Chains A and B, each alone.
Chain A
Amino acid sequence: MKTLVIAEHDNQQLKPATLNTLAAAAKLNQPIDILVAGANCGAVVSQAQAASGVTEVLVADSDYLTHQLPEDIAPIIQANIGDYTHVLAPATTTGKNLLPRVAALLDVQAISDIQNVLDANTFERPIYAGNVIATVESSDSIKVMTVRTTSFDPVAATGGSASTRTLEAGSASGLAEFVSEELAQSDRPELTAANIVISGGRGLGNGENFELLYTLADKLNGAVGASRAAVDAGFVPNDMQVGQTGKIVAPDLYIAVGISGAIQHLAGMKESKIIVAINKDEDAPIFQVADYGLVADLFDVIPELTSKL
């Protein structure tokens, strides 16, 4: 009875989402190992060893794993499943891409986006864009699950002293090949890891007006997000989308600017500690979830707020 957590990393840094996933794993009360699969990822292995609560780090370090394609990683997990009863990964685009593939190879029904662990077989997860929380019980011998990271406070990144075990190297599947990657370059913190998030909606009117939010975000060392309406209108790229079909965030402070508050947006930010809504429509549903609401024209108050902070 052991739990295997799949580390999320870029071959250099262990991503913070892994620490939240370890916290979910800790609720299962059984030994936790962690898999680091990549290329030249020694630094990540050291970070995984130091993470709190890890017993052993399984290491698959090989050139063909540079881009960590699921076609290559899933068979490694399958081959090393041993006596693991639970396999967990963060519910990021990486985890969501990989774990269902693993589950199918193991012939088990995966469980997506768990937000609570009730016992070894029973979990809570949101369905219908977060309008309903389902309690589900798995009868499979191995539970393969992605974890909603905002629902679990991260374990400490230091203090652990896990051992390591090198896994036998496989070979590339040849089914998929990495071509290129375009990552948004930004000095601002990552949306899902920022303490402060400022999001804009259709009320911004166009992409240029998002500059107002970037200026405010830089003053607060925050990240900038957007509603699906703003993404659909072409104001900003999709990787800024906060909501059920975008990113799930839970910062200390979330400032919603010109966002009406559609259910699908609320699903992505309602776990934030403090929510501020700025909207000129006083009946906007966003005010129903906001701790502090300011009914005003954003084009007046955002520059004012920026200058006064």
Chain B
Amino acid sequence: MKILVPIKRVVDYNVKVRPTSDGTDVDITNAKMSINPFCEIAVEEAVRLKEQGVATEVIVVSIGDAKCHEQLRAAMALGADRAIHIDAATNLEPLAIAKCLKALVDKEAPEIVLLGKQSIDGDNNQTGQMLAALWNVGQGTFASEVKIADGAAHVTREIDGGLQTLKLKLPAVITTDLRLNEPRYAKLPHIMKAKKKPLDTLTLDELGIDGATRVKLVKTAPPAQRQAGIKVADVDALIEKLKNEAKVIA
């Protein structure tokens, strides 16, 4: 069984991103870049499926400029077998990304595409669902547990209020939530080995994808700021304020 794992290079989650001073974009010059955390969980899950003997090959793919080779190598150091870089603008939209992945799925014929539920830059949470629609397969989004058995994927999903378990016919798309696993750290020998693993590059033209923007970024602004309030001395003072000033408790 082949598993395809799309990953995204994003600003590291520890970086506090701000709008540019002219309010047209975000300022990420010189920011530390990493694999999107949800994507890293997807790589880890795919590698575990391979270690369990369920998967035979784990292919990572990233769409963007050549800088994403760094993240593809990092994913191969975690255990992915080979990588594909689709050369495109870094601001490609989820629909265009899903179309690229569909084209790749047609070439590679994986049985599972395993990817993060959202990237922490655009916070869209769309690509997996869109790919599932274009591919006409089932989707197991926000997964906290994945089991492959009897030719199907049994996916437990994090939903509002609890958990839901689905049985998906293969092939299928699965998107990861935080609790699915804790990704390992790459060991030095694996990092060295990853440098020799195959990394192929494809272009949007080769895949026949139109990368035109449908939703234009018009403006960026900082979020409305809350003013810090006051410190109260003790519990009595707090209760007094909540009752008489804020009037939020009776």
- Contact residues of A with B, CB < 8 Å? 69-71, 74, 92-94, 96-105, 107-113, 122, 126-140, 173-184, 190, 192, 196, 220, 228, 231-232, 238-239, 244-245, 247, 252-253, 263-264, 270, 273-276, 282, 287-296, 301, 304-305, 308-309
* Residues in B neighbouring A295, C-beta threshold 8 A: 231
State which of B26, B130, B140 has its C-beta within 8 Å of the C-beta of A128: B26
Interface of B is mostly: mixed
* Residues in B neighbouring A184, C-beta threshold 8 A: 161-162
State which of A98, A128, A296 has its C-beta within 8 Å of the C-beta of B17: A128
- Contact across chains for A176 and B95 when beta carbons are under 8 A apart: no
Q: What are 8 of the A-B contact pairs (CB < 8 Å)?
A: A127-B26, A139-B216, A176-B166, A182-B164, A196-B249, A293-B230, A293-B231, A294-B235
State which of A71, A190, A244 has its C-beta within 8 Å of the C-beta of B123: A244
* Residues in A neighbouring B248, C-beta threshold 8 A: 196, 252-253, 273-274
State which of B93, B122, B218 has its C-beta within 8 Å of the C-beta of A127: B122
B154 at the interface (CB under 8 A from A): yes
Number of B interface residues in the complex (CB < 8 A):
78
- Contact across chains for B133 and A101 when beta carbons are under 8 A apart: yes
- Contact across chains for A128 and B123 when beta carbons are under 8 A apart: yes
- Contact across chains for A104 and B95 when beta carbons are under 8 A apart: yes
A98 to B121, CA, bound (A): 21
Closest CB in chain B relative to A208 CB, distance in Å:
20
* Residues in A neighbouring B214, C-beta threshold 8 A: 108-109, 138-140
* Residues in A neighbouring B159, C-beta threshold 8 A: 93-94, 181, 239
- Contact across chains for A136 and B217 when beta carbons are under 8 A apart: yes
* Residues in A neighbouring B223, C-beta threshold 8 A: 126, 130-133, 270
Closest CB in chain A relative to B97 CB, distance in Å:
10
A288 to B152, CA, bound (A): 49
Binds A, one of B66-74, B103-111, B239-247: B239-247
State which of A70, A98, A133, A291 has its C-beta within 8 Å of the C-beta of B222: A133
* Residues in A neighbouring B166, C-beta threshold 8 A: 69, 176-179
| 134-187 of chain B: CB within 8 A of chain A | 134, 136-142, 144, 154, 157-169, 172, 177-179
- Contact residues of B with A, CB < 8 Å? 11, 13, 16-19, 26, 93-95, 98, 120-134, 136-142, 144, 154, 157-169, 172, 177-179, 214-223, 226, 228-232, 234-236, 238-239, 241-242, 246, 248-249
A112 to B228, CA, bound (A): 30
- Contact across chains for A101 and B234 when beta carbons are under 8 A apart: no
* Residues in A neighbouring B127, C-beta threshold 8 A: 100
A113 to B189, CA, bound (A): 43
Known: A176-B166, A263-B16, A305-B235. A132 touches B26 (CB 8 A): yes
A111 to B124, CA, bound (A): 7
- The chain A residue sitting closest to B27, CB to CB, is A132
Closest CB in chain A relative to B73 CB, distance in Å:
25
- Contact across chains for A292 and B179 when beta carbons are under 8 A apart: no
- The chain A residue sitting closest to B218, CB to CB, is A135
* Residues in B neighbouring A305, C-beta threshold 8 A: 235, 238-239
Known: A127-B121, A132-B222. A276 touches B138 (CB 8 A): no
- Contact across chains for B241 and A292 when beta carbons are under 8 A apart: yes
* Residues in A neighbouring B222, C-beta threshold 8 A: 131-133
Closest CB in chain B relative to A269 CB, distance in Å:
10
- The chain A residue sitting closest to B126, CB to CB, is A100
Can you add 12 more A-B contacts, CB < 8 Å, to A130-B223, A132-B221, A135-B220?
A96-B125, A101-B129, A104-B95, A104-B130, A129-B123, A131-B222, A140-B214, A176-B166, A253-B242, A253-B246, A282-B231, A294-B231
* Residues in A neighbouring B168, C-beta threshold 8 A: 175-177
- Contact across chains for B238 and A239 when beta carbons are under 8 A apart: no
* Residues in B neighbouring A94, C-beta threshold 8 A: 159-160
- Contact across chains for B221 and A71 when beta carbons are under 8 A apart: no
Closest CB in chain B relative to A90 CB, distance in Å:
10
